[in-house]
Amino acid sequence: MTTKKQRCFIETYLSTWNATRAAEIAGYKHPNVAGASLLRHPEVKAAIAERLKQISMTADEVIARLAQQARADVSVFLRSSGEPNWEMVQKYGYLIKRITKTRSGWQIELHDAQQALMIIAKAQGLLVDRVQQNQMQTQVTFYLPEKAPGLPSRDGEGEDGDGNG
C-alpha cells in the first residue's frame, strides 16, 4: 500500500519523468535522495509499472494508428466551405500534424503517410535493412520480397492478376 506522498510522487513522476522534481512536489525533505530511493521502492515501482501498463499502447494499437496515418485523407477534416470540421479534428486529431489559418483559408497538414508505411513495412518484415560496412563508406540496401500480399508483381499486375491489385 502506497502512502499519499508516494501516490503524489508517482503521478508527478509519470508526467515529468524527473524523480527529483516529483519528490520535491510530493513534499519530501531531500528530493534528490528521495526520488532515486522511491524509484527502487517495491510498492512504488509496482505502482509505476501498473500505471505504465494502463496508459501504454500495445503493438497492435501502434500498427493500427500508423495504418490510419497512412490512409488519412485531409478532405475528412475540411468542410465544403473550407472551414475545418472541428468534430473530426477533435475525434481524429492525432492524424493531424498542423492546422494553420492563412489569409486564403485553412491549411491542414497530416502526418507523413509514406513514413507510416515504411514503419509498418519494417514491422511486418516487408523491408529488411542490411548494412554493409566498407572501409570508407556505409551502404544501406532495402529488399522487397518477390510477391508481397497486396503489392503489384514485377509485371505490373496485382495479386489477383487483373492489374487492379
3-state secondary structure 33-72: HHHHHHHHCHHHHHHHHHHHHHHCCCHHHHHHHHHHHHHC
* C-alpha dihedral, 54 to 115 to 74 to 165, nearest 10°: -110
| Number of residues that make up the chain | 165
pLDDT, residue 55, reads: 85
Q: Which residues are paired to 132 by β-bridges?
A: 139
Contact 66, 57 (CB under 8 A): no
Q: Which domains does the chain have, with CATH numbers?
A: 4-55 (1.10.10.1400), 59-114 (no CATH), 128-165 (no CATH)
pLDDT, residue 32, reads: 93
Q: Which single residue is written with the C-alpha cell 472541428?
A: 86
Q: Rounded to whole angstroms, how far apart are CA atoms 32 and 20? A: 5
pLDDT, residue 58, reads: 86
pLDDT, residue 59, reads: 86
The rounded average pLDDT for each run of 10 residues, N- to C-terminus, in the chain (165 residues) is 92 94 96 95 94 87 93 92 92 93 92 93 81 61 62 53 50
